[in-house]
Amino acid sequence: MAARKSSGAGNGANVRLAADIGGTFTDIAVFNDKTGRLTFGKALSTPNRLVDGISSGVEKAGSDYGSANLFLHGSTVAINTMLERTGAKTALVTTEGFRDVYEIGRINRPDAYNLYFQKHKPLIERALCFEVKERMRADGEVFIPLDEEGLAALSDKLDALGIEATAIMFINCYANGAHEARAKELLSKRHPGMFVSASHELSQEYREFERVSTVAANAYIGPKVRRYIGEIDAHIRKAGFQGSFLIVQSTGGLYENEQAQTQCVRMLESGPAAGVIGTQALCHTLGIKNAIAFDMGGTTAKAGVIYKGEALTTGAALIGGYDKALPVQIAMMDIFEVGTGGGSIARNDDGILRVGPQSAGAQPGPACYGLGGEEPTVTDANLALGRLGADRFLGGEMKLDVKAAERALAKVGKPLGMSATQAADGILRIAATAMSYAVKGVTTERGLDAGDFAMVAYGGAGPLHAVSVAREIGIRNVIIPFAPGVFSAFGMLFSDLRYDYVRTHLMSLADAPFDDIEAVFQDLEKQGREAIASTSVTPHKITVKRALDMRYVGQEHPVTVELPMSVFQKQDRKAIKRHFDDDHLQRYGTSAPNERSEIVSLRVTVTGLMKKPPQEKIKKGSATPPKSAFSGKRPVSFGGKFRDSSTYKRAELLAGNKINGPALIEEHASTTVLLPGDRMTVDAWGNLVIKVAGAK
Neighbours of 26 (CB within 10 A): 28
Portion of the chain with pLDDT greater than 70, in percent: 96
201: Cα separation from own chain's centroid: 22
Its sign, for the CA torsion 687, 690, 691, 696, is negative
46 class by beta-carbon count within 10 Å (0-12 exposed, 13-18 middle, 19+ buried): middle
Average pLDDT over residues 618-639: 93
Q: Which of 250-264, 367-381, 623-637 has the lowest mean pLDDT?
A: 367-381
24-45 pLDDT per residue, tens:
778 899 998 888 888 888 888 8
In angstroms, the CA 682 to CA 420 distance is: 35
Which residues, 6+ apart, have CB-to-CB distance to 70 below 8 Å?
A: 14, 15, 16, 17, 243, 244, 246, 537
Q: What are φ and ψ of residue 40, in 5° steps?
A: -135, 155
Domains with residue ranges and CATH for the chain: 1-68 (no CATH), 83-226 (3.40.50), 344-430 (no CATH), 499-609 (3.30.1490), 627-691 (no CATH)
Q: DSSP letters of 144-172?
A: E---HHHHHHHHHHHHHTT--EEEEE-TT
CB burial readout 206-230, b (16+ within 10 A) else e: bbbbbbbbbbbbbbbbbbbbbebbe
Of 292-306, 570-584, 589-603, minimum mean pLDDT range: 292-306
Mean pLDDT confidence for 175-204? 95
In this predicted model, what pLDDT tens digit does every residue of 502-520 receive, in sequence order?
A: 999 999 999 999 999 999 9
Give the per-residue pLDDT at 440. Answer: 87
Please give the residue that has the higher pLDDT: either 187 or 10.
187
pLDDT of residue 7: 32
pLDDT tens-place string over residues 38-71: 888 888 888 778 888 899 999 998 899 998 989 9
Which tens digit of pLDDT belongs to each residue from 444-485? 878 788 889 999 999 888 999 999 999 999 999 999 998 898
Looking at 209-223, 308-322, 487-501, 545-559, which range is the least confident one?
308-322
Mean pLDDT of 625-648: 93
pLDDT, tens only, 425-439: 999 999 999 899 888
Q: List pLDDT tens digits, range 346-377.
A: 888 888 888 877 777 767 888 888 888 888 99
Q: 424 near 380, Cβ under 8 Å?
A: yes
Dihedral through CA 335, CA 336, CA 338, CA 342, nearest 10? Answer: -40
Residue 1 has pLDDT above 60, yes or no: no
d(C-alpha 171, C-alpha 180), whole Å: 10
pLDDT in the model for residue 119: 74
Burial 498-535 (b: 16+ CB within 10 A, else e): bbbbbbbbeeebeebeeeebeeebeebbeebeebbeeb
Query: What is residue 6's predicted lDDT score, i.e. its pLDDT?
Result: 30
Q: Between vectors from CA 239 to CA 236 and to CA 240, what angle results, nearest 5°?
A: 95
Q: Does residue 428 sit in helix, strand or coil?
A: helix
For the entire predicted model, the pTM comes to: 0.87
Region 173-195 average pLDDT: 95
pLDDT tens-place string over residues 283-302: 999 999 999 999 988 778 89
Structure confidence at residue 2 as a pLDDT band (50, 70, 90): very low
Looking at the DSSP assignment, which residues form a beta bridge with residue 561?
Answer: 548
- Cis peptide leading into residue 145 (ω within 30°): no
CA atoms of 565 and 510, how far apart (whole Å): 19
- Neighbour-count burial for 330-364, b at 16+ CB within 10 Å, e otherwise: bbbbbbbbbbbbbbbbbebeeeebbbbbbbbbbee
User: What percentage of the chain's residues is helix, strand, coil (to nearest 5)?
Assistant: 35, 30, 40
CA-CA distance, 644 to 634, in Å (whole number)? 5
- Give dist(CA 696, CA 681) in Å, integer: 22
Return all residues near 636 (Cβ < 8 A) that are at least 6 apart. 385, 386, 387, 642, 643, 644, 645, 662, 664
The pLDDT assigned to 109 comes to 66
Give pLDDT, residue 478: 97
Instruction: Give residue-wise pLDDT tens across range 519-553.
Output: 999 999 999 999 999 888 889 899 999 999 999 99
Q: Cβ distance 340 to 301 under 8 Å?
A: yes
Do 217 and 83 form a contact (C-beta atoms < 8 A)? no
Confidence of residue 273 (pLDDT cuts 50, 70, 90): very high
